[in-house]
Homo-oligomer: A and B are copies of this chain.
Amino acid sequence: MLHFVNDYSEGACEEILRRLMETNLQPESGYGYDTFTASAKEKIRRACGTPEAGVYFLVGGTQTNKVVIDSLLAPYEGVLCAASGHIALHEAGAIEHSGHKVLPLAHKNGKISAEQVKDYVDAFFADPTYPHMVHPGMVYISHPTEYGTLYTREELAALSEVCRACKLPLYLDGARLGYALASPESDLSLRDIAVLTDAFYIGGTKVGALMGEAVVFPKAEPKGFFTRVKQNGALLAKGRLTGLQFDTLFTDDLYYRLGENGVKTARRLREIFLDKGYKFYIDSPTNQTFVILENAKMQALSEKVRFDYWEKYDETHTVVRFCTSFATRMESVEALAALI
């Protein structure tokens, strides 16, 4: 069986496991006051070019979105996002569970634009009954998006400018950030993101860690954020576990190299599909590939390959997703080529 179903099927990159072994019995303080966490925070601050940034390590993506968004919003504010955004669809109402409305905007390949945000905010405050409605309080984007697409530097700068003008914090969900940073089609660096956003997270779970996401507040962190993390049940007693992983990921550019593996194998995958005459549902430059398959082909393939059902395309075709990751070997991609 070949595995392209998602990017969290395997454990961690071997560098992480090796260091876990080496440091296992070294006693460390709890709750993120360990030496690994301190070092990881420093390395991330350096990589972002923000020596004063607040950096926190949480466990998973939904948890991170929930805690960060709740920390950036007043209770009567909601979060603007693409209608396809993870928080709008696949987090079991975690944002609403913390009291906030998700305010979806029509998306284009998973993305929203500065104009959309500006138009929403202008129209909202032009309506004299606005105090009776949920105020737009911040903007959430994902990069790469749920469709594997990327914001350009220009698009993010425009969003950033509108957000500042509207006093809306801009938050970037980087669950797969490693695959964006490593994409040759991206012109956005970590430093750019740190300049242009108010909060973002560097995804570990989908880019080589056992688990863990690094939240960065490049300008200023929300008051009492540590206690908020604890109150949400998101504080690890053995903070060393996330600290050590991010310390490893940000040593010798490992995080970028893991991202590169996902991107390279995905590009080769797309070459193969293209060569064989397949069409893509969306042009996706990172580690996710959305292919339109004939239903019979899909059926046959599913006996030898695990991939993800995405949606019905027409009566005889289906969109399916092939996902590569930090762990995908080029041999597996070539083996897939033989099957399609």
- On A, residues with C-beta under 8 Å from B are 1, 3, 5-6, 8-12, 14, 17, 20-21, 23-31, 59-67, 70, 74-78, 89-94, 96-102, 129, 131-135, 205-206, 210-211, 223-224, 226-228, 230-238, 240-241, 306, 327
Contact = CB atoms under 8 A, between A and B. Distances in A.
Most buried by B among A63, A77, A327: A63
A119 to B, nearest CB: 14
Contacts of A14: 24
6 shortest A-B CB distances, which residue pairs?
A63-B233, A11-B24, A93-B134, A92-B230, A76-B227, A92-B231
B29 A131 contact: no
Contacts of A10: 24-28
B236 A60 contact: yes
Contacts of A76: 92-93, 224, 227-228, 231
Given A75-B228, A131-B227, A211-B238, A233 B66 contact: yes
A227 B20 contact: no
A74 B21 contact: no
A21 B17 contact: yes
A6 B228 CA distance: 23
B94 A230 contact: yes
Contact of A24 (B12, B23, B65, B94): B12
A135 B96 CA distance: 13
Contact of A11 (B20, B59, B65): B20
A235 B89 contact: no
Contacts of A90: 129, 132-133
Contact of A97 (B9, B99, B238): B99
Contacts of A11: 20, 23-26, 238, 240-241
A97 B75 contact: yes
Contact of A60 (B61, B77, B227, B237): B237
- The interface centre, meaning the residue of A14, A28, A65, A75 with most chain B CB atoms within 10 A of its CB, is A75
A325 B198 CA distance: 41
Contacts of A89: 133
A211 B241 contact: yes
A223 B236 CA distance: 27
